Amino acid sequence: MKFLILSCKTGGGHDAAANALKFQFEKMGHEAFVFDYLTLAGEKVAKRVANAYVNTVKTVPYVFGEVYKLGMYVSKHSKESPVYKINKKMAKYLIPYLEEHHYDAIIMTHLFPAETLTYMKKENVKLPLFVGVATDYTCTPFWEETDCDFYIIPHELLMSDFTKRGMPIDKLYPLGIPFTPKILNPISKEEAREKLQLKLNKKIALLLGGSMGAGKLIQLVKNFNKIKDKNYLQIVVICGNNKRIYHKLLKLYGKNEMFVILGHTNQMDLYLKACDIVYTKPGGLTSTEAAASRLPLVHTFPIPGCETANKNFFHHLGMSISAPNAKELTEIGLKLLNSENDMEKMKKAQEKNVSLDATEKIAQLIIDKVQKQNQI
Q: Say if residue 221 is in the same domain as residue 250.
A: yes
**DSSP E strands, the chain:** 2-7, 31-36, 105-108, 129-133, 150-153, 172-174, 203-208, 233-238, 259-262, 277-280, 297-299, 321-322
Give residue 190's domain range. 182-353
Q: Say if residue 132 is in the same domain as residue 34.
A: yes
CA distances from 350 to 90, 222, 314, 318 (A): 39, 29, 9, 8
Residue 91: pLDDT above 70?
yes
At residue 64, the pLDDT reads 45
At residue 303, the pLDDT reads 82
72, 309 contact by CB (below 8 A): no
At residue 45, the pLDDT reads 63
**Spatial separation of the C-alpha atoms in residues 308 and 65, rounded to whole Å:** 9
Mean predicted lDDT score pLDDT of the chain: 89
The pLDDT of 116-126, averaged and rounded, is: 96
Q: Say if residue 102 is in the same domain as residue 212.
A: no
pLDDT bracket for residue 141 (50, 70, 90): confident
pLDDT bracket for residue 149 (50, 70, 90): very high
**Confidence (pTM):** 0.91
Q: Is 17 helix (H, G, I), strand (E, B) or coil?
A: helix
At residue 38, the pLDDT reads 81
The pLDDT of 144-164, averaged and rounded, is: 97
Q: Say if residue 95 is in the same domain as residue 199.
A: no
Angle between helices 243-253 and 217-225 in degrees, nearest 10: 10
The pLDDT of 160-177, averaged and rounded, is: 97
Q: Give 153 or 304, the one with higher predicted confidence.
A: 153
Q: Say if residue 124 is in the same domain as residue 225.
A: no
Start-to-end CA span in the chain (Å): 17
Degrees, nearest 5: CA angle 367-368-372: 120
Residue 101: pLDDT above 80?
yes
Q: Say if residue 234 is in the same domain as residue 136.
A: no
At residue 343, the pLDDT reads 97
Q: Say if residue 24 is in the same domain as residue 131.
A: yes
Q: Say if residue 217 is in the same domain as residue 123.
A: no
**Spatial separation of the C-alpha atoms in residues 17 and 368, rounded to whole Å:** 20
**Spatial separation of the C-alpha atoms in residues 288 and 353, rounded to whole Å:** 10
58, 214 contact by CB (below 8 A): yes
Helix or strand (DSSP H, E) at 224: helix 217-225
**One-letter identity of residue 101:** H
Residue 203: pLDDT above 50?
yes
Percent of the chain with pLDDT over 70: 87
Residue 63: pLDDT above 60?
no
Q: Give 137 or 211, the one with higher predicted confidence.
A: 137
pLDDT bracket for residue 53 (50, 70, 90): very low
Q: Give 90 or 79, the one with higher predicted confidence.
A: 90
User: Where does residue 283 rank: exposed (0-12), middle (13-18), buried (19+ CB within 10 A)?
Assistant: buried
Radius of gyration from C-alpha coordinates of the chain: 21
pLDDT bracket for residue 116 (50, 70, 90): very high
Q: Say if residue 192 is in the same domain as residue 233.
A: yes
**Predicted confidence (pLDDT) per residue in 298-334, tens digit:** 999 888 888 999 999 999 999 999 999 999 999 999 9
Largest separation between any pair of C-alpha atoms in the chain: 68
Q: Say if residue 14 is in the same domain as residue 135.
A: yes
At residue 317, the pLDDT reads 99
At residue 73, the pLDDT reads 52
DSSP state of 228: S
At residue 375, the pLDDT reads 82
Report the domain count for the chain: 2
At residue 70, the pLDDT reads 59
Percent of the chain with pLDDT over 90: 71
Closest to 239 (Cα-Cα) out of 256, 216, 205: 216
**Spatial separation of the C-alpha atoms in residues 134 and 18, rounded to whole Å:** 11
Buried b (16+ CB within 10 A) or exposed e, 143-179: bbbbbbbbbbbbbeebbebbeebebeeebbbbbbbbb
271, 254 contact by CB (below 8 A): no
- Domain of residue 190, CATH code: 3.40.50.2000
At residue 240, the pLDDT reads 84
Residue 39: pLDDT above 90?
no
Closest to 278 (Cα-Cα) out of 339, 319, 225, 325: 319
Q: Say if residue 279 is in the same domain as residue 294.
A: yes
Q: Say if residue 236 is in the same domain as residue 349.
A: yes
